[in-house]
Structure 1
């Protein structure tokens, strides 16, 4: 169990920046409504038949695939989450925050990479990128790229824009930095509740083939909800994959916006 004292200890700066997301997340997907997006199925189809045999461990043309993703960590509960994922043999994609997270928990970042999960970029301080100019966007993404490479030896190829908000400028800088933009199809709104059963129900109610599930491993109710989510989705016949595996044999294209 996570104590009330543990919840209070959450990083104040993180709570402040993510409170903004909690207020406005209902508008999230609308923030990129004018942008062209690519679904995982479209990405796979566009790769063509010549890519046969290049699907890696799972062929999501045939398997019922779904991607579990976690934003805004790592945090103090991430090791517990990694224990669960390891036990269940479930790969995930982690969109990491730089300041107060990647820098604070470098050993956890190394573990995420070492255990086969996809390490991705969620900016340095969780600023809404569409409110920034090109140099500021580059700073938000570039600092996290560099910090993760220093720890893992590899720069991410995926990013998730805070609140899902992208525009031409964000796309241009993302492409320059070699980053694809990844949105989602399932959100549990776990920033609004510590009720793990409710988080689980929200995910299961929205889950579908080729789905991308958005959760946050920094909130008290989320990590305890994950075992039940995994168990039920496995029962329903889903295969868990990372986001790149969901797109395979296509490779994520820098600047592209992916959304189921």
Structure 2
């Protein structure tokens, strides 16, 4: 059964989520709703300004996505051989991103790249150990998929992620329960280039630009040959449209992602 929404979403955002998500009917939270709830609870962005080294992409002051036209750039299933090139682009453009990292053949294979992602101010998140569909596993198997990646990332960066993205966007009540136990919020998306199906960078760029919207979460993969070359054009054109790039956590601020909760634009 597909996930249902209790809050209003645009038809474009719904259409952009191309996968039918498994499991029982489940509420999702939009970034704007998370921010609104946090502000009504008295949370504020004030006082969060921090000194930033020139070697990071982190902004000197927090971005207020109630005022700015924000969008989050996210990358799944890396790091890969092209991730350093991607990081060069992001540093040049001063664009932060969220990386949902895959454990067994990626985090373990590229520990220096994982450390660089973290050191340069990007958000490091969990995309499981071996990319198995979590909704097809039992609770112990789900926990292992997520916990092994938590441990591997923490060993490199010193910090465990607080966000996860389920492979194929597939979740159910068991996945939610384990995610909550491990302190992980579940992050879906609103724009995808289906870059697993094409190496045409121009097509990847076109698909993302067509689906991009305020408070959107862009899904790309830094492991496919056409994706990283498409990123400079995506960034340039979205900046021209007035977008401010943020991490997923910055998109939700002043709210903090609640473990187990499902976030989707």
TM-score normalized with structure 2 length: 0.87
The answer to whether residue 31 in structure 2 is matched with residue 40 in structure 1 is: yes
In 1, Cα distance between equivalents of 2:166 and 2:260: 12
The answer to whether residue 220 in structure 2 is matched with residue 215 in structure 1 is: yes
The answer to whether residue 240 in structure 2 is matched with residue 235 in structure 1 is: yes
Query: Are 1:70 and 1:95, in contact at CA under 8 Å, matched by a contact in 2?
Result: yes
In 1, Cα distance between equivalents of 2:80 and 2:227: 12
In 2, Cα distance between equivalents of 1:160 and 1:206: 20
In 1, Cα distance between equivalents of 2:45 and 2:31: 17
Partner of 1:41, secondary structure, is: helix
Residue equivalent to 1:176: 181
Query: Are 1:113 and 1:152, in contact at CA under 8 Å, matched by a contact in 2?
Result: yes
Question: What displacement does 1:51 show?
Answer: 1.4
Which has the larger displacement, 46-55 or 85-94? 46-55
Number of matched pairs: 236
TM-score normalized with structure 1 length: 0.88
RMSD after superposition? 1.5
In 2, Cα distance between equivalents of 1:87 and 1:173: 38
Partner of 1:68, secondary structure, is: strand
Residue equivalent to 1:9: none
Query: Are 2:74 and 2:219, in contact at CA under 8 Å, matched by a contact in 1?
Result: yes
In 1, Cα distance between equivalents of 2:106 and 2:20: 25
Residue equivalent to 1:80: 85
The answer to whether residue 36 in structure 2 is matched with residue 31 in structure 1 is: no
Residue equivalent to 1:102: 107
Query: Are 1:32 and 1:164, in contact at CA under 8 Å, matched by a contact in 2?
Result: no
Which has the larger displacement, 56-65 or 109-118? 56-65
Query: Are 2:96 and 2:247, in contact at CA under 8 Å, matched by a contact in 1?
Result: yes
Query: Are 1:95 and 1:119, in contact at CA under 8 Å, matched by a contact in 2?
Result: yes
Please list the CA deviations of residues 184-215 of structure 1 after superposition, one character each: whole Å capped at 9, or x if unmatched.
00000000100000000000000000000000
**Structure 1 or 2: larger helix share?**
1
Query: Are 2:45 and 2:253, in contact at CA under 8 Å, matched by a contact in 1?
Result: no
Q: What 5-or-longer segments of structure 2 have no aligned partner?
A: 1-16, 49-60
Query: Are 2:24 and 2:173, in contact at CA under 8 Å, matched by a contact in 1?
Result: no
Spell out structure 1 runs of 4+ moving beyond 6 A: none
In 1, Cα distance between equivalents of 2:235 and 2:24: 30
Residue equivalent to 2:204: 199
Query: Are 2:21 and 2:171, in contact at CA under 8 Å, matched by a contact in 1?
Result: no
Question: What displacement does 1:237 show?
Answer: 0.1
In 1, Cα distance between equivalents of 2:155 and 2:243: 35
